Homo-oligomer: A and B are copies of this chain.
Amino acid sequence: MALIVQKYGGTSVGNPERIKNVAKRVARSYAEGHKLVVVVSAMSGETNRLIGLAKEIQPNPDPRELDVVISTGEQVTIGLLSMALQAEGLKARSYTGSQVRILTDNSFTKARILKIDEDRMRRDLDEGCIVVVAGFQGVDDAGNITTLGRGGSDTTGVALAAALHADECQIYTDVDGVYTTDPRIVPEARKLDHITFEEMLEMASLGSKVLQIRSVEFAGKYKVKLRVLSSFQDGGEGTLITFEENDKMEQPIISGIAFSRDEAKLTVQGVPDRPGIAYQILGPVAEANIDVDMIIQNVGQDGTTDFSFTVPRGEYDRTMDILSGVKTHMGAREVRGDRYMAKVSVVGVGMRSHVGIASRMFRTLAEEGINIQMISTSEIKISVAIDEKYLELAVRVLHKAFELDQPAG
């Protein structure tokens, strides 16, 4: 008998019929003898509907009041799922974030979890009751309702698993696990039985939307065993996210190809090459709360330098405006931009002990005539920025070059 936290996302609880199906799935886990805490999101579309109402009132609604409004989405689901579980003949009781209570700081709309009282849940679990908890929400120490930001329900699941020292936190979603890459681009993509936390973090941060990155970090910090599963298919084992790098089976060198589409590149050309220029360029961008990702700096021969970086595409115009101001101030020659960039990365803990990964990657892309515009690396990943039109091609050839279509082992 294990204590398991299961989390079901918005698509899994998208309508009453699906909620009943989730109840049946939970009932099967319960029949296997497990103690269960179930975390749910708002029914799909509901959070957006509520945000829409708020914006009709005020384009920039007060964050405290916005949290009051949007936290109702999950509250509806916990009530409905508890009813559905009772209809399956089970004992079930729902809790809002405030009732559990999931104590957070008071950063409305993006609060951080500080502490979880698990007494009440434990009492219910000991009585054979299934505990149903609203994801995405908490309460600050003044009793105000807070929310954790988009995808926060994953974080709630992991945080509850950590607080309860659960044996496993299962994230049920609309895919049946983590894949070597997006099967919509590479039909030969394989589901991974396991992946390390470090790899998962890289995959998540690079746009593989299976898990919210904050929840993966949280799981890493508290050593919560995470498993990604499908809520629509039966019987699969999903993908287990492990802490151990060396499993029984040989670790593949590369675990997957991650990518992100909506990138844009900006280049400040002909900047006088002196200390502090990176800060002078990126300082104003950071102050405008724009995330900068890849950064490169080329020193030219005339004592000037070219400075390039990528931002999310949606921030392209704002960034361009900022740089236009900076340009004059710095005496730069020109600001150029490319709105349509993509990033492709090979990820794998195995590359630590293997040389030649980068060269294989670059050669593969070169053979297809794909120009690499920027490169960045970490211990377990190599990323390149390329023209967006080559994205699918790049992912496909890299997937093949690293033999990810072959069974592992």
Interface of chain A, main secondary structure: helix
Take A53-B80, A98-B98 as given contacts and tell me if A69 and B58 are in contact as well, using a CB distance cutoff of 8 Å: no
Q: Is A72 interfacial (CB 8 A cutoff)?
A: yes
A19 within 8 A of B: yes
| Chain A, range 14-32, C-beta contacts under 8 Å to B | 16-17, 19-20
B69/A86 in contact, CB under 8 A: no
A373 at the interface (CB under 8 A from B): no
Copies of this chain: 2
Kindly list chain B residues whose C-beta atoms are within 8 Å of the C-beta of A253.
Answer: none
Picked from B17, B68, B93, the residue with its CB within 8 Å of the CB of A94 is B68
Residues A69 and B80 in contact, CB atoms below 8 Å apart: yes
- Per-residue 0/1 for A52-83: is the Cβ within 8 Å of any B Cβ (1 yes, 0 no)? 01101110011011111101100110111011
A87 contacts partner chain B, Cβ-Cβ < 8 Å: yes
Q: B78, A62: Cβ atoms under 8 Å?
A: no
Closest chain-B Cβ to A356's Cβ sits at a distance in Å of 57
Please tell me if A397 contacts chain B, counting CB pairs below 8 Å: no
Q: Is the CB of A65 within 8 A of B94?
A: yes
Query: By the criterion CB–CB under 8 Å, are B83 and A78 in contact?
Result: no
The answer to whether B62 and A86 have CB atoms under 8 Å apart is yes
Determine if B98 and A79 form an interchain contact, defined as CB atoms under 8 angstroms apart.
Answer: no
A65 touches B53 (CB 8 A): no
| A69 partner, pick from B69, B75, B99, beta carbons under 8 A | B75
A84 lies within 8 A of chain B by Cβ:
yes
> Which chain A residues (191-238) contact chain B, with CB distance < 8 Å?
none
With CB as the reference atom, state the residue of chain B lying closest to A74: B72
| Contact A66 B79, beta carbon cutoff 8 Å | yes
Shortest distance in angstroms between A78's beta carbon and chain B's nearest beta carbon?
6
B86 touches A56 (CB 8 A): no
In the complex, per-residue mask of A90-103: 1 if CB is within 8 Å of any chain B CB, else 0 = 00011010110000
Which residues of the partner chain B approach A62 to less than 8 Å between Cβ atoms?
Answer: 82-83, 86
Residue of B nearest to A20 (CB): B57
A73 to chain B, nearest CB (A): 8
Is B16 touching A57 in the complex (CB atoms < 8 A)?
Answer: yes
User: Which residues 328-343 of A have a CB within 8 angstroms of B?
Assistant: none
Contact check, A50 vs B76: say whether CB atoms are below 8 A apart. Answer: yes
Query: Are B57 and A83 neighbours in the complex by a CB distance under 8 Å?
Result: yes
* Residues on the B chain within 8 Å of A20, using CB: 57
**Interface-central residue, A20, A53, A57, A145, by most chain B CB under 10 Å:** A57
Hey, which chain B residues are within 8 Å of A99, CB to CB? 143-145
Query: Which 9 A-B pairs give the minimum distances between C-beta atoms?
Result: A69-B79, A68-B79, A72-B72, A16-B56, A65-B79, A65-B82, A57-B83, A58-B83, A61-B83
A-B contacts, 11 listed (Cβ < 8 Å): A50-B76, A57-B84, A58-B87, A62-B86, A65-B94, A67-B79, A68-B75, A68-B79, A72-B72, A75-B75, A99-B145
